[in-house]
């Protein structure tokens, strides 16, 4: 049986239908910057036989409530939401989780992303106050790829590599 996962791009459409760009810096928006990373992750996973539910297939046009509902109703094995941190955040990845399995998922993804030259981490952080981590029926991770300001050039230049490494981390997690 093939694995089924949900990989979603942060922000996009809010529950009231209004566009939500996420954080911004000098004309760059979180939603736009995370889309190529999310797409690269999704493409890699699908090439490796994993069924992927993703709002990235339609330009990040779903809100987080719809994404979580979709993942839950489809019985996804894991849920990942791809984000970047605001402009005052320090450089580095910051994967967020709630459960023990969410922590394993976050750590596996982080280990892989850190293989990209120039990438550093702020650690893996437990959070109990975030909807996407609490409302999912499966292990979940909100993966903060970096700071929209401090890691801007890296995220743009290495978007595909970041997405592929995230996917490899997901595959590492699924193999255990």
CATH match for 4-175 among 1.10.10.10, 3.90.199.10, 3.10.50.40, 3.40.630.40: 3.40.630.40
- What is the tens place of the pLDDT at every residue in 55-68? 999 888 788 999 99
pLDDT mean over 66-92: 97
pLDDT in tens, 94-112: 999 999 999 999 999 999 9
Q: What is the pLDDT of residue 15?
A: 83
In sequence order, what DSSP letters do the residues of the chain get, joined into one string? ---EEEEEESSEE-TTS-EE--SEETTEEHHHHHHHHHHHHHHHHHHTT-EEE-GGGGTS-S-HHHHHHHHHHTT-SEEEEEEEE-TTSPSSBEEEESSHHHHHHHHHHHHHHTTSTT--B---EE-SS-HHHHS-SS-EEEEEEEETTTTHHHHHHTHHHHHHHHHHHHHHHHH-
Domain spans, the chain = 4-175
pLDDT, tens digit, 9 for 90 and up, residues 119-174:
999 999 999 999 999 999 999 999 999 999 999 999 999 999 999 999 999 999 99
């Amino acid at each position: 049986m093939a694995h089924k996962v949900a990989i979603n791009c942060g922000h996009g459409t809010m529950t009231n239908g209004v566009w939500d760009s996420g954080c911004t810096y000098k004309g760059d928006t979180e939603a736009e910057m995370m889309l190529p990373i999310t797409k690269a992750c999704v493409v890699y996973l699908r090439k490796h036989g994993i069924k992927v539910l993703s709002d990235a297939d339609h330009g990040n046009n779903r809100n987080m409530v719809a994404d979580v509902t979709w993942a839950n109703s489809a019985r996804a094995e894991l849920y990942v939401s791809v984000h970047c941190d605001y402009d005052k955040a320090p450089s580095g990845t910051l994967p967020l989780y709630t459960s023990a399995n969410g922590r394993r998922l976050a750590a596996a993804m982080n280990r892989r992303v850190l293989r990209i030259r120039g990438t550093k981490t702020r650690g893996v952080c437990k959070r109990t106050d975030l909807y996407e981590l609490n409302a999912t029926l499966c292990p979940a991770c909100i993966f903060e790829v970096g700071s929209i300001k401090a890691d801007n050039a890296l995220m743009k230049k290495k978007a595909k590599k970041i997405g592929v490494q995230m996917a490899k981390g997901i595959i590492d997690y699924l193999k255990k």
